[in-house]
């Protein structure tokens, strides 16, 4: 498929495995012959601060960072972090917002209410998807670390990638139990 | 893993490389013999990758040196003796390594294979640095060639070019990257790995290698008027300095000059604005190609210069325009005004395509199809989240004990207590709930900073320094303090590793627990400290549940702190408590849980101690079993005995 450029913004907290997620996606896209660019945040990131990374693919891209207002998809691996990256949503409200319902609260800071959050989200997109990633991960794999894979499974429907390519990309990076668990989570995400 | 990824693969094959990985590959394709480095984000992956593969690929030597100066010197003399050598560091590392580089830059090895490349990774926006520093002005001081890639593919190619230039000119060449290049990942087409051409017989004549006036002024003359002059010719003719969209003349008579990652931003911005302009992309950033620049400037009435951080290129463009009497308006950051009004882009923070596009609209009156200013007005913000120490981090334990001890010292003596911080994970103790920070500069400075206040006041000065940083550059300051009888308390937070940059080993690290360890000899920190003649105390946190550890630590700090105040002695306390990311505990953590019947929600564990694994629920605290790493300290701090080991 010829694509000019497709931009994914991924945001979450340090230690949530953002880089892994980008690596699986990027490897799969490269196998399919796309030109891919990511920008990753390394260093300091295992310590809970907010992290934003980008993955872009297509024939017509230049920078690892996109223009604001141009993302095709925004993924928030922790619910409230979506608020930090809405500048990337397209003004025509077509950006797919993929939001994990996983919440990490901070002592002494009020967590945004669902009502407020929804109000803001509706201002910014007509394509909002909440994913109960934590519940899926716990229910089917018993391990929170598979949250991202469930989300990965879900977003495949928007990308020019089929399941087997992603599975192959995962086989490169995981083995044994971890691989089994991630394949299960991927499947649940695809079937959502 | 790294071997398959980096070393395997044929010429023409496409890889998905991080900028830093592409640099490794480029060096291998240049027949590299030696790589030395000191870890520092965003440069560390280069050294770590070499460390993993160097034996298998047959390189002569790779080391993670004790600091950047030593790394520069080890690589430097290997260069003198005929090696293709490379040294890597982050921006501020070049400050530490700059002293030897002055001499090294001018020496002129005779061995044919001698080549020296210096990787310096800058960090605009201070993503993981204490200061935002542009290393490029050093290029003018050292007078050496430098290249700056704008994407991972160029990381590979420019590294090869850097080796080539250095081999030919016998000048060290700097390869400058920034975070968004070192940590960008993209398709990279690889070439062929080259075998080393290093010889066993070599020339180390003093006339070309010794910094002494007798030889050196002559060398310097050759450095500037011969080798640098040839570098300038290379720059003039180099395809790394190229003009793109040459025929895209526009209504505004505007041309663009840029380099590095900024090149990708301007391309993105031009595409977005559906506008075309000729671009002079500078990859060979020192010396700048004056003739090529003049020919470019002549074609325009306006020029927009885009570069990260300082105005290294812009200032020179202004000078070149003046020298050649060119009447052209130069837009950029205006190095002479220091006024936000006169500038198109700021000298503070990182650029991005949006900032560049907005600047372009101001220069040209172009109207973008979407209103960027409107989007920029969106002011939603998620939770404010500070970076925090890992769950189970030993520094939090130390912070907690230190806070108790210091409060008691203050109330018992009525003296003020000041904290002198250093660079490492423990720097985060500068933030609440501990807020231990009065002065902090750069790596290794805490012990000397403590002396400046201690020698001039009667308060208690406490230096907080990690083991990695102590080895890096804390040692001279400690010796200075002992010799000058400085009344300070030095806490060496010995977590065994260089935690912050990814748990790399340092000379004190346990050789059993890292890959290259069997070929190293660890320095015994205690023995070393005893040799200084200072008062030394060592306390160790044992694995599992070490009953009353916190109390012991608190008492020790209290006693020694008091002695510093009362008898003006210098005390060192070594706190041995391993980084949780490295400990065995982490492999099979004994997770703690909260007995909800006993917990009265007092908040000590979640708001005073603030382990991120502990959360507050309606009526009691809660430990997230997915986050707890089983350090066990919360068990000791809980006044209600409500925290227990999971059976
Ligand atoms: C001159 C210089 N080189 C490298 C770095 C990158 N850096 C940041 S912290 C650190 C070392 C931290 O080690 P340590 O003192 O043992 O503290 P820890 O993080 O383990 O707590 C390094 C190398 C730097 N900031 N400055
Ligand atoms: S044992 Fe307690 S302090 Fe340690 S990581 Fe677990 S919850 Fe945190
Ligand atoms: S990496 Fe180690 S030293 Fe750094 S915060 Fe985590 S546990 Fe603490």
Tell me whether residue B380 is in a domain: no
Q: Is the CB of B629 under 6 A from ligand 3?
A: no
Q: Which helix (H) or strand (E) holds B359?
A: helix B353-364
With cut-offs at 50, 70 and 90, classify the pLDDT of residue B594.
very high
Q: Is the CB of B582 under 6 A from ligand 3?
A: no
Q: Is the same domain home to B335 and B408?
A: no
Per the CB < 8 Å rule, is B380 touching A86?
yes
Query: Do the bridges between strand B173-178 and strand B241-244 make them parallel or antiparallel, or are there none, so unpaired?
Result: unpaired
* pLDDT recorded at residue B467: 98
Candidates A46, A65, A80; nearest CB to B353? A65
Tell me whether residue B379 is in a domain: no
> Under 8 Å CB-to-CB from B302, ≥6 apart: which residues?
B252, B253, B254, B255, B328, B329, B330, B331, B363
Tell me whether residue B387 is in a domain: no
Residues in chain A within 8 Å Cβ distance of B244? none
Task: Dump pLDDT digits (tens) for B87-135.
Answer: 999 999 999 999 999 999 999 999 999 999 999 999 999 988 999 999 9
Q: Is the same domain home to B331 and B407?
A: no
Q: Is the same domain home to B7 and B153?
A: yes
Q: Is the same domain home to B519 and B405?
A: yes
CA-nearest residue, atom 6 of ligand 2 = B628
Domain boundary among B237, B271, B287: B237
Q: Where are the alpha helices (DSSP H) in B223-339?
A: 229-237, 261-273, 290-297, 312-323
Residues in chain B within 8 Å Cβ distance of A44? 41, 127-128, 387, 500
CATH number of the domain within which B249 lies: 3.40.50.920
Task: Dump pLDDT digits (tens) for B138-166.
Answer: 999 999 999 999 999 999 999 999 999 99
Tell me whether residue B603 is in a domain: yes
* pLDDT recorded at residue B21: 97
Structure tokens at B375: 């989007």
- Above 50 in pLDDT, residue B418? yes
Give whole-number Cα distances, B339 to A89, A92, B335, B346, in Å: 33, 36, 9, 10
CATH number of the domain within which A43 lies: 3.40.920.10
With the most atoms of ligand 2 within 8 angstroms of its CB, the residue from B545, B550, B577, B630 to mutate is B630
Q: What is the DSSP string of B9-40?
A: --TT-EEEEEHHHHHHHHHHTTT--EEEE---
Q: What is the DSSP string of A60-75?
A: S---SSPPTT-BSEEE
CB B282 within 8 A of CB B258: yes
Query: Does the CB of A63 have a partner CB in chain B at under 8 Å?
Result: yes
Ligand 1 centroid from CA B450, angstroms: 19
Domain boundary among B222, B237, B252: B237
Tell me whether residue B16 is in a domain: yes
The three-state secondary structure class of A116 is: helix
Residues in chain B within 8 Å Cβ distance of A49? 385-388
Backbone φ, ψ for residue B94 (5° rounding): -65, -30
Cα B109 from Cα B103, distance rounded (Å): 12
* pLDDT recorded at residue B416: 97
Sign of CA dihedral B354, B357, B358, B359: positive
> In three state form, how does the secondary structure of B189-243 look?
ECCCCCCCCCCCCCCCCHHHHCCCHHHHHHHHHHHHHHHHHHHHHHHHHCCCEEE
pTM, full prediction = 0.97
Query: Does the CB of A17 have a partner CB in chain B at under 8 Å?
Result: no
Instruction: Average the pLDDT over B416-445 and give the result.
Output: 96
- A60: containing domain: 6-104+112-191
Cα B292 from Cα B231, distance rounded (Å): 14
Instruction: Average the pLDDT over B420-445 and give the result.
Output: 96
Task: Dump pLDDT digits (tens) for B16-66.
Answer: 999 999 999 999 999 999 999 999 999 999 999 999 999 999 999 999 999
Cα B333 from Cα B353, distance rounded (Å): 16
- B103: containing domain: 2-237
Residue with tokens 């003349």: B249
Q: Is the same domain home to B14 and B125?
A: yes
CATH number of the domain within which B598 lies: 3.30.70.20
- Above 50 in pLDDT, residue B79? yes
Number of domains in chain A: 1
CATH number of the domain within which B573 lies: 3.40.50.970
> Under 8 Å CB-to-CB from B74, ≥6 apart: which residues?
B34, B36, B63, B65, B87
Burial call B286-312: b when 16+ CB within 10 Å, e when fewer: bbbbbebbeebbeebebbbbbbbbbbb
Atom of ligand 3 nearest to the CA of B495: 3
CB A74 within 8 A of CB A98: yes
Query: Does the CB of A159 have a partner CB in chain B at under 8 Å?
Result: no
CA-nearest residue, atom 2 of ligand 2 = B634
Longest dimension (CA), chain A: 49
CB A170 within 8 A of CB A152: no
Instruction: Average the pLDDT over B242-250 and give the result.
Output: 93
Residue with tokens 């190229």: B242
CB B483 within 8 A of CB B448: no
Tell which B residues from 158 to 197 touch A, by Cβ distance under 8 Å. Answer: 180, 183-187
Cα A42 from Cα A19, distance rounded (Å): 8
* pLDDT recorded at residue B586: 63
The three-state secondary structure class of B72 is: helix
Tell me whether residue B389 is in a domain: no
With the most atoms of ligand 1 within 8 angstroms of its CB, the residue from B39, B40, B41, B179 to mutate is B40
- Report the candidate in B322, B233, B347, B341 with the shortest Cα–Cα distance to residue B284: B233
Q: Is the same domain home to B222 and B246?
A: no
Ligand 3 centroid from CA B530, angstroms: 27
Per mean pLDDT, which range of A165-179, B16-30, B299-313, B555-569 is the poorest?
A165-179
- Report the candidate in B208, B232, B237 with the shortest Cα–Cα distance to residue B222: B208
Number of domains in chain B: 4
Tell me whether residue A1 is in a domain: no
Q: Is the same domain home to B448 and B506?
A: yes
Which residues, in sequence order, are bridge partners of residue B573? B491, B537
Structure tokens at B289: 């190609």
* Minimal-distance CA residue of chain B relative to A88: B375
Tally the residues of chain A: 192
Per the CB < 8 Å rule, is A44 touching B41?
yes
* Minimal-distance CA residue of chain B relative to A35: B187
* Minimal-distance CA residue of chain B relative to A116: B380
Tell me whether residue B382 is in a domain: no
Q: Is the CB of B92 under 6 A from ligand 1?
A: yes
């Amino acid at each position: 498929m010829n694509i000019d450029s497709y931009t994914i913004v991924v945001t979450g907290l340090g230690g949530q495995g953002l880089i892994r997620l980008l690596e699986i996606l990027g490897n799969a896209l490269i196998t399919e012959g796309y030109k891919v660019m990511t920008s990753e945040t390394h260093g300091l990131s295992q310590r809970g601060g907010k992290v934003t990374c980008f993955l872009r693919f297509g024939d017509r891209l230049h920078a690892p960072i996109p223009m604001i207002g141009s993302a095709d998809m925004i993924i928030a691996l922790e619910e409230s972090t979506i608020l930090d990256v809405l500048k990337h949503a397209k003004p025509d409200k077509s950006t797919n917002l993929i939001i994990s319902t996983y919440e990490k609260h901070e002592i002494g800071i009020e967590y945004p209410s669902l009502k407020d959050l929804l109000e803001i989200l509706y201002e910014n997109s007509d394509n909002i998807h909440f994913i109960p990633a934590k519940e899926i991960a716990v229910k089917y794999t018993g391990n929170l670390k598979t949250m991202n894979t469930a989300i990965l499974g879900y977003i495949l429907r928007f990308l020019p990638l089929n399941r087997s390519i992603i599975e192959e990309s995962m086989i490169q990076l995981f083995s044994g139990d971890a691989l089994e668990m991630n394949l299960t989570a991927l499947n649940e995400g695809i079937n959502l | 893993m790294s071997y398959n990824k980096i070393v395997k693969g044929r010429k023409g094959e496409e890889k998905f490389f991080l900028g830093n990985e592409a640099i490794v590959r480029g060096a291998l394709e240049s027949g590299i013999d030696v790589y030395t480095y000191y870890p520092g984000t965003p440069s560390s992956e280069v050294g770590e990758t070499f460390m993993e593969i160097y034996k298998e690929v047959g390189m002569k030597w790779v080391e993670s040196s004790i600091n950047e100066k030593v790394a520069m010197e080890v690589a430097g003399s290997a260069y003198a003796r005929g090696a293709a050598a490379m040294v890597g560091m982050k921006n501020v590392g070049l400050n530490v390594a700059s002293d030897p580089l002055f001499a090294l830059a001018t020496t002129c090895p005779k061995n044919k294979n001698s080549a020296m490349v210096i990787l310096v990774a800058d960090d605009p926006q201070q993503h993981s640095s204490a200061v935002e520093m542009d290393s490029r002005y050093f290029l003018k001081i050292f007078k050496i060639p430098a290249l700056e890639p704008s994407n991972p593919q160029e990381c590979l190619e420019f590294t090869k070019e850097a080796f080539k230039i250095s081999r030919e000119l016998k000048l060290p060449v700097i390869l400058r990257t920034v975070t968004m290049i070192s940590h960008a990942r993209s398709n990279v087409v690889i070439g062929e790995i080259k075998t080393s051409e290093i010889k066993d017989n070599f020339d180390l004549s003093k006339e070309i290698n010794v910094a002494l006036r007798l030889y050196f002024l002559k060398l310097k003359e050759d450095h500037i008027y011969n080798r640098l002059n040839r570098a300038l010719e290379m720059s003039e003719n180099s395809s790394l300095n190229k003009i793109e969209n040459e025929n895209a003349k526009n209504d505004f008579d505007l041309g663009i000059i840029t380099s590095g990652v900024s090149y990708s931003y301007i391309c993105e911005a031009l595409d977005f604005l559906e506008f075309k302009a000729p671009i002079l992309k500078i990859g060979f950033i020192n010396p700048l190609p004056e003739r090529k620049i003049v020919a470019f400037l002549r074609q325009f009435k306006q020029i927009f210069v885009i570069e990260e951080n300082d105005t290294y290129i812009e200032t020179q463009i202004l000078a070149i325009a003046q020298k050649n009497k060119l009447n052209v308006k130069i837009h950029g950051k205006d190095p002479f005004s220091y006024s936000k009004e006169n500038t198109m882009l700021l000298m503070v923070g990182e650029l991005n395509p949006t900032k560049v596009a907005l600047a372009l609209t101001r220069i040209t009156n172009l109207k973008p199809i979407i209103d960027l200013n409107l989007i920029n007005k969106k002011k939603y913000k998620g939770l404010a989240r500070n970076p925090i120490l890992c769950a189970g981090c030993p520094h939090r334990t130390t912070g907690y004990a230190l806070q108790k001890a210091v409060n008691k010292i203050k109330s018992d003596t009525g003296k003020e207590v000041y904290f002198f911080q250093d660079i490492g994970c423990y720097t985060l103790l500068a933030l609440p709930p501990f807020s231990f920070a009065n002065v902090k500069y750069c790596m290794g400075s805490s012990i000397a900073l403590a002396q400046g206040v201690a020698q001039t006041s009667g308060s208690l000065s406490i230096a907080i320094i990690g083991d990695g940083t102590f080895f890096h550059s804390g040692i001279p300051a400690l010796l200075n303090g002992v010799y000058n009888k400085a009344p300070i308390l030095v806490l060496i937070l010995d977590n065994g590793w260089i935690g912050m940059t990814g748990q790399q080993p340092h000379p004190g690290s346990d050789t059993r627990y890292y890959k290259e360890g069997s070929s190293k000899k660890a320095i015994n920190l205690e023995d070393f400290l005893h040799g200084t003649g200072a008062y030394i105390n060592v306390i160790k946190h044992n694995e599992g549940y070490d009953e009353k550890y916190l109390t012991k630590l608190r008492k020790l700090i209290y006693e020694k702190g008091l002695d510093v105040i009362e008898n003006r002695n210098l005390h060192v306390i070594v706190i041995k408590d391993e980084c949780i990311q490295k400990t065995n505990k982490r492999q099979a953590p004994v997770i703690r849980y909260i007995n909800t019947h006993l917990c009265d929600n007092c908040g000590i564990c979640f708001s005073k101690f603030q382990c991120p694994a502990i959360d507050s629920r309606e009526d009691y605290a809660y430990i997230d079993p997915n986050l707890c790493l089983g350090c066990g300290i919360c068990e000791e701090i809980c006044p209600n005995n409500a925290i227990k080991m999971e059976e």
